[in-house]
Chain A
Amino acid sequence: MNRIINLITRQPIWIFVFICIVFFSFSSPYFLDIRNFSNILLQASTIGLIALGMTFVMINGNIDLSVGATLALAASLAVGLQPQLGIMGAVLVGLLSGILIGALNGIIAWKTGVDAFIVTLGAMIGVRGLVFIYTEEQAFYAYDLAYSDFGASSLFGIPVLALIFIFLTITAHLVLKYTIHGRNVFAVGGNRVAAKEAGIRVGPHMLLNFILIGFLAALSGILLSTQMGASTPNLGRNYELWTITAVVLGGTRLTGGFGSIIGTLGGVLAIAILRNGMNLLQVPSFYVLIILGSILIIVLFIDKRFSEPKGVGA
């Protein structure tokens, strides 16, 4: 029981998710349908995959703004190179591009000491430019139908993409909570100096997290392109903001040292459920934005009120 109370006060976003589910179940007969739920998971998976990596990076005390552009580059490569390399080859190149951008972000931030916000802001602008040069502002279509078939495929009635998201969420949770790397994520984000003096190699550690988020952004982009059977150069615009919103909704602090995958999952689901439910109720999508913006501030207010350590700010 204590654990449940603890979870609720630490994860106010799950209360919101719960309220949303109850509300939409009563207002729309279609909402509670299994197929609709699979749909929500599918819609959540794009932002969700990136958010997993963003949770690591943000607890670490960093941020990555280049994920939207990385997603577009990986998707464009994975679709655009198919005629030359085949599906597997093109997808591999797409994933590698994400790893490479992540590594570059990480190395620059580590070696120059320039704030990750600035480094990845530069990458966000630069990589998007790269996408436009590579695609010549054209959308690419996957001519091999096997590619989009994968995006539409299901296993036990659940979309494969949603299953991938669920699997990686569980993995990320376990890694963050029960491995050395996960523990060090908190230590480095909580107090970089203390972590360094305790023998943690802070630079390589942060680099690894940037590589992780680069990979996940690329994966997310490729999976998104399988859903559409195509890629466009404008794919993933503003996704960095949605990802950060989801992670912050989940209780991860911008200052680092605090956060969880469970919270992030809550944040991701909150956004997806709200969008899906409002859509079922035929509310124009602009209203969703207003509500999401308000919810973001309200949830953080609750978080500040109830989960701040006692004695601080008294």
Chain B
Amino acid sequence: MSTQAELKESINPRSKENCLLVLKNVSKSFPGVKALDGVDLDVRAGEVHALLGENGAGKSTLMKILAGIYQPDGGEVILEDQLVHMSSPIEAREHGVLLIHQELSLVPDMTVAENVFLGNIPRFANIFVNNRHLNDRCGEILTRLNCKFEATERLGNLSIANQQMVEIARALVFQPKVVVFDEPTASLTDYEKVVLFGVIRELKESGTAIVYISHRMDEIFELSDRISVLRDGTYQGTFETAQTNEDEVTQRMIGRDLDADIEHQPPELGIKALKVDGLGIEGLYSDISFDVHVGEVVGFYGLVGAGRTEVMETIFGLRKPDSGSVQINGEDLIINSPSDAIDHGLGLVPESRKEQGLVLGMSCKDNTTLANIRKFTRFGWIDTAAERAIFEEYMEKLRIKCPGWEYETLNLSGGNQQKVVIGKWLSTSPKILILDEPTRGIDVGSKSEIHHLIRELAKSGLAVIVVSSEMPEVLTVSDRIIAMYDGSITQCFDRNEVTEDTLIRAITGQTV
């Protein structure tokens, strides 16, 4: 323990005067779990302080303590040299500490302004809504954030990225001293990220302290001034971003070395598993043609809204194309429904595992056999033992960390949930597997595991398509990369000839 304390001192000589927020020896337990064990943290005014850790390391618990959602069992929270107790989010807000949630908590049917001032609506005569004041003040904040939508717009009409901006606007109403961002870029594209980072930098310049939680190493190094690392609820040290590197913090974070980078050998191309020709849906995308061979991974890279997900949904029978054709193993097919697609050997790991991938209230076993329950029946009756066997097989193969087959998927971590979804599709023995944003919101360790898995699947004879908004991911897993922009394919690259620069140009419509 003493070595750790020394380490902390050497890396992080405290400069007391500009510490806005200090946590000392904070602990928090839940029944059966010690979520935080003597964690220290100091955040300065005008800095971006990144908080790193794998899922379950205690980041969220720490942030919930800051935001007054949880109360610590022990330790102190000191804000501007004052010991504070924040027993509710409202109290935290009054102290100027605001949390911007990972999952948006907005009301889609209300206007932007009403959302921004939710629970805090300007009034007159104490009971009436002061609409003009409401929209004017909201407009000011939106201008500050460089938002291009109106305060009177219905929230549900906005893109996820813009909704995120509304969430930030909501925090700014309170002129916060500390803003905590929990995975703000999880559903943003690279371009939208740039806009968000601009906003964060602007906040920082104006003297606000930013605590930034993310799994994405590149973002953290781009944005942060200092990095603190948590592992299994314990504090692992704080680093000046300029004086450290990814390897060092990663090792701190997971306590082991990540597997070496995936090697890329040009795969031995098998036969064409999937051929898409001139596929189009009016208003969504047009003239999509590409093919995928057995044994290769094709990455689809582009901005959110470029039409990638819609193309995959069409191939999988969730949408009806206006034009074009799909061939599987050289056979022209019309796929009308997901069950058709499954019959033809297609699998789709969807973009959002909670909304589309899993039935959260069902057990791991039941989710695993969801797409091909017929295989596990005798005369219409489910053979539970066979189901268990298949789940346990995939639990081992995919290294799903889960107490048992009866465990509800609701309680699994994001990485393990995603593995259950992948297991579900693998159990249908697909020939072509489509993965849409396979590692969104998943910690670094599981992410790397899933990337390896994708490579292995291709090697074992599957044709794999990976849709991703993360450039490192596309570059890591793909043999070929197809860039989409605004509903069309702009370019197709071989893994070995692509550069980040050309890729960015291709997805922002700067080529052709």
Whether A191 contacts B342 by the Cβ 8 Å rule is no
A19 at the B interface (CB under 8 A): no
Nearest-Cβ distance from residue A6 to partner chain B, whole angstroms: 10
Cα distance A201–B339 in the bound complex, in angstroms: 8
Return 7 A-B CB contacts under 8 Å, by A number.
Answer: A183-B366, A187-B370, A190-B359, A194-B359, A197-B348, A257-B362, A258-B361
Say if the beta carbon of A113 comes within 8 Å of chain B: no
Partner of B338, one of A178, A184, A191, A198: A198
Inter-chain CA distance A33–B384, complex, in Å, is 40
Q: Given A180-B373, A191-B360, A257-B361, do A197 and B382 touch, yes or no (CB 8 Å)?
A: no
Binds A, one of B243-251, B289-297, B350-358: B350-358
- List 7 additional contacts besides A183-B366, A190-B359, A194-B370; criterion CB under 8 Å: A179-B377, A179-B381, A186-B362, A196-B338, A197-B356, A199-B339, A199-B342
Contact A195 to B370, CB < 8 A, known contacts A187-B359, A187-B362? yes
- The answer to whether B381 touches A310, judged by C-beta atoms less than 8 angstroms apart, is no
Residues of B within 8 A of A (CB): 316, 318, 337-339, 341-342, 348, 350, 355-362, 366, 370-374, 377, 380-382, 384, 408, 410-411, 424
Query: Across the interface, which residues of B come within 8 angstroms of A198, CB to CB?
Result: 338, 342, 370-371, 424
Is B339 in contact with A309, judged by CB distance below 8 angstroms? no
Separation of A258 and B362 alpha carbons in the complex (Å):
9
Known: A180-B380, A187-B359. A201 touches B337 (CB 8 A): yes
- Given A197-B348, A199-B341: A311 and B362 interface contact (C-beta under 8 Å): no
Chain B residues within 8 Å of A200, by CB: 339, 370
Asked if residues A190 and B348 are in contact (CB atoms below 8 Å), the reply is no
In the complex, what residues of B have CB within 8 A of residue A85's CB?
none
The number of chain A residues with a CB under 8 A from chain B is: 25
Bound complex: CA A164 to CA B370 (Å): 33
Cβ B361 vs Cβ A183 within 8 A: no
- For A194, list chain B residues within 8 Å (CB): 355-359, 370
Query: Smallest CB–CB gap between A188 and chain B, Å?
Result: 9
Verify A186–B357 contact, CB threshold 8 A. Answer: no
Known contacts A197-B338, A309-B408: A190-B371 contact under CB 8 Å: no
Kindly state whether residue A291 has any CB partner on chain B within 8 Å: no
- Are B318 and A180 interface neighbours, CB within 8 A? no
Q: Evaluate whether A186 and B361 lie within 8 angstroms (CB atoms) in the complex, with A197-B348, A201-B337 already known.
A: yes
Given A180-B374, A180-B380, A197-B350, A186 and B338 contact (CB-CB distance below 8 Å): no
A193 within 8 A of B: yes
Indicate if the CB atoms of B366 and A186 lie closer than 8 Å: yes
In the complex the two chains form, what is the Cα distance from A311 to B409 in whole Å? 13
Interface membership of chain A positions 145-167, coded 1 if the CB is closer than 8 angstroms to chain B and 0 otherwise: 00000000000000000000000
A311 nearest in chain B by CB position: B411
A179-B380, A179-B381, A199-B338 given as contacts; is B356 within 8 A of A193 (CB)? yes
Question: In this complex, what residue of A is CB-closest to B70?
Answer: A314
- Taking the closest CB of chain A, its distance from the CB of B339, in whole angstroms, is 4
B382: A residues at CB distance < 8 A: 178-180, 182-183
User: In the complex, what distance in Å separates the CA atom of A290 from the CA atom of B411?
Assistant: 38
**Residue of A187, A195, A196, A197 with most partner-chain B CB within 10 A:** A197
Question: A257 contacts which chain B residues (CB < 8 A)?
Answer: 359, 361-362
> What's the Cα separation between A179 and B370 when bound, in Å?
12
7 tightest A-B contacts by CB?
Answer: A199-B339, A190-B359, A198-B371, A191-B359, A199-B342, A198-B370, A190-B361
CA distance A199 to B373 in the complex (A): 10
Q: Smallest Cβ distance from A194 to chain B, in angstroms?
A: 5
What is the 8 Å Cβ interface bit string for chain A, positions 301-314, against chain B (1 contact, 0 not)?
Answer: 00000000111100
Kindly state the separation between the CA atoms of A213 and B337 in the bound complex, as whole angstroms.
Answer: 27
How far is it, in angstroms, between the C-alpha of A199 and the C-alpha of B428 when the chains are bound?
11
Chain A residues near B411: list those with CB within 8 A.
Answer: 309-311
Contact A190 B362 (CB under 8 A): yes
- Interface set, chain A 168-214, CB cutoff 8 A to B: 178-180, 182-184, 186-187, 190-191, 193-201
Contact A193 B355 (CB under 8 A): yes
Closest to A188 in B: B359
Residue of A nearest to B373 (CB): A180
- Shortest C-beta distance, A205 to chain B (Å), equals 11
Nearest B residue to A182 via CB reads B382
Find chain A residues with CB under 8 A from B341 CB.
199
Q: Note all chain B residues with C-beta closer than 8 A to A312.
A: 410
Residues of chain A with a CB closer than 8 A to B359's CB: 186-187, 190-191, 194-195, 257
In the complex, A190→B356 CA distance in Å? 11
Contacts of A196 in B (CB 8 A): 318, 338
